[in-house]
Structure 1
Amino acid sequence: MQDNPAPTLSVIIPCYNEGENVPLLFGRLLPVLAGLDVSFEVICVNDGSRDDTLDRLLEVQTGEPRLRVIDLSRNFGKERALSAGLLHSRGQAVVPMDADLQHPPEAIADMLAKWREGWDVVFARRDARVGQGVSERLFAKGFYWVFDHLSDVKLPREVGDFRLMDRKVVDTVNRMPERSRFMKGIFAWVGYRHAEIVYRQGERAAGTTKFNSLKLLRFAFDGLTSFSNFPLRVWGGIGAAISSLAFLYIVIRIIRTIFWGVDVPGYESILVSVLFLGGMQLLTLGIIGDYVGRVFDEVKGRPLFIIRKLYEPGGE
């Protein structure tokens, strides 16, 4: 591998249970790459798939010497699978994309053209969200709004992992060791000069999405807590406000007792106060616990992923 010259372009494709999509993907991707008149490699990361994804990738590799397959020991998640692909990429320009053909391979030519103009990063911005309902689109808009207002890092709107990055950008990302891999935030955090193209997102070629509403919500919360400590700081302000109201209530009760004597209050107010404050404390502890858990993961220093086997062209 090391004796071969580095290609101009690396295409990285994380795969999890994408067996149906593999022949469709390469039937469309390889002709596009062959027409670009640049040397290239395709790196597919099998993220612990439970179907025949690995077998189909190795079948394609028998006829395509520029395909490299990384087989992870289990499912580590798309963000870490993408990190594995970036770490093993050798191209001067690197393009991550999905295996379901929602990212059209034809857009790579436009990104390469911008890269040759001298841009370090070329965003691929979707013109519309395809295959998503109203609730999912509203959730996405809400997430971007919250992230922009609570984080110092601004995410480009309607831009996913599909983009082109220069070699120096990829090297910078690879030097970031954090275990919480919110790649859209990491890509935005490193900066560099960027341009963008607009593409039309396609329908998923086959299979179903691996993200449900709960996973998307957790993913969004991970992204926010990875790039903002506002959820920690906001509870200080909420605590101060509640303490001020409680102090004001104490003053009112003292004045009431001095002028009107002692009455017998109902238990409802006590019950409401205890439940409200207890719930606030548990919520606060949950958010603090999430940050502490991240610190715990970082301190352990476990690897981001484990490679079961690296299938190089011409190998076993």
Structure 2
Amino acid sequence: MTIQDAATPPPPSKVSRFSGTVGPLGVGVAVLWLSIIVLLPLAALTATSFENGLSGFWDAVTAPGAVAALRITAIVSAIVALINVVFGTLVAWVLVRDEFPGKRFVNAIIDLPFALPTIVASIVLLSLYGPESPINVHLNATQPGLVVALAFVTLPFVVRSVQPVLIELEKDVEEAAASLGASNLTIFWKVVLPVLAPAIFGGAGLAFARAIGEFGSIILIGGNIRGETQVASQYIQQQLEMDRPVNAAAVSVVLLIIAFITLLVLRVLAQRSIRREETAA
């Protein structure tokens, strides 16, 4: 063996090793915890939904009541996501770029839907927009009422997704565009919006995923009218009350699939955005 051979380090082992600070014990605990909290319940739910076989699952999710509830849920949730795109971005812009009295208070109440029990929100909305509305606006048992309730519980998603991006956004490019004669609308559309787009889309996707499974905030103001205001979560509750757990589990699995696909698309788009930024840098 030569001196050069002795100084050459051995080739890396092909055996996979754990990297980081927690080691295999920490990874094992994390996997175990996620399995108990997430994977096992999801596996049990999926198994229940297929108790009557694939045909039974298909019959459950294609029943007229299930189709109507899923359709209403998807439409209302999409509308709520679009509303969040517009007003969530506007609120984030105001909180970052403007100064006004009570700004800290407004910034604090953005997270209120995360802390407030959703059934409380439903009670408040019913008292405000119900049959005895003090402002003479009656949204009880209507799809606009569903939109208002879901917009309340999903408010923080776009706002909190856009705010950090706006804070880190350099104003030099905006000032350069303004010095060249670009209008405020042109600056926002051509300069600011492309940077904010991934955050806006991500927040809207999270709002949509939250809205399709919401129950508490719409339980009172929604009315639970089949084919009109009954959303998927209420249909699931109805099937459980009628002692049809397989049907309830089947519709729940459909909601899980929709939410998973939404989050997966967001993940892929976020990774692509990061790669584009790294390439541009």
Normalising to structure 2: TM-score of the pair? 0.24
Q: Which has the higher contact order (CA 8 A, sep 6+)?
A: 2
Q: Is the strand fraction higher in 1 or 2?
A: 1
Q: Is the helix fraction higher in 1 or 2?
A: 2
